[in-house]
Amino acid sequence: MKIGTWSLPNNVFVAPMAGVTDRPFRQLCKKLGAGYAVSEMAASNPQLWKTVKSSRRLNHDGEIDPVAVQIAGADPTMMAQAAVFNISKGARVIDINMGCPVKKVCNMASGSALLRHEDLVARILEAVVKACLPHGVPVTLKTRTGWDREHRNALRIAKLAQDSGIAALTLHGRTRADLYLGEAEYETIREVKSSLSIPVVANGDIDSPAKARVVLDYTGADAIMIGRAAQGRPWIFREIDHFLRTGTILAPPTWLEMRDLLLEHLADHYHFYGELPGVRTARKHIGWYVSGLKNGKSFSDQINRLESTREQFEAVNLWFTAQQEHSPDMAEATCDNHSVRTDHLQAA
């Protein structure tokens, strides 16, 4: 799998997720087998570039290349300027967001709202590609299948992207109106892939090695992108990569390995955010790690009452160590087996 001149180690990617895919999380996912990761969405409005939130999103210190930054906006000139600005901050790939379904983004005519204005889509794509070309930086696009099911235009948008010089396309198999409900439209991804010569990345509902294999085979996509299934489960990337390469299932992490990975994540997270924002923003990550585990809900409630990083870190260490002593077999302590439905794909 290549994006521009960048050769990637595998075709299992991390999806950009606001409030989730910060630098510590991307780094951990890459360490655990993700071949590529895209940053949280960065605003194209220059007035927002000096905020605390933006300064964190612009921090790529020590990140494994290629650093990929996603930008969002509705003005072609601003988007082009944002691309160049992020290149100056270390971006090696620029990704354009035309898929975010969140109301406050769409109300600004950004994200998936752009799918209703194909002429504007073309102008944004051309402006950003042109701005990045002198820097040798490839541009990618992440989008959805349309605004709603009555106005699916993924194929037209995909052809506009290819004609504009976009290096790769990620397609989330839902419309904006679908949000994250229902099943992903792999048929649309398959149609788009068969019509393009640039790489296509399939996104949506991929939550296990078996599902990854089915989606790749059915759609013909060049890569897959994992979003919500990686929350609290960053080792999913090595599990999927191993299965795609060997056809065998990798053993899940033990209690102690899970503990060590979470503690490593927390240490980097605290260093990145500082004390107060660090302890508060870490709560959701810890909750995701223990979700579906026996006694996980009560432990998550306990974590949410702690107000210091030291207390939080120590509580995690003690809880996982105790789980190892009481329930050495992880399978017996797991409430959610991440079952996967593939029958509708096979039938199609």
Q: Is 100 a catalytic residue?
A: yes
Greatest pairwise CA separation for the chain in angstroms: 61
According to DSSP, residue 14 is labeled: E
Q: Per the structure block, which two tokens stand in for 14?
A: 């991390």
What one-character-per-residue DSSP string does 309-341 give?
HHHHHHHHHHHHHHHHHH---HHHHBS------
Residue with tokens 């790939």: 93
Q: What gap in Å lies between CA 170 and CA 223, rounded to an integer?
A: 9
Phi then psi dihedrals of residue 302, to 5 deg: -65, -45
Q: How far, in Å, CA of 213 to CA of 157, rounded? A: 26
Q: Quick one: DSSP state of residue 41?
A: E
The DSSP annotation for 113-156 comes to: GGGG-HHHHHHHHHHHHHHHGGGT--EEEEEESBSSTTSB-HHH
What is the pairing mode between strands 2-3 and 6-7? antiparallel
Hey, which residues are catalytic here?
Answer: 100
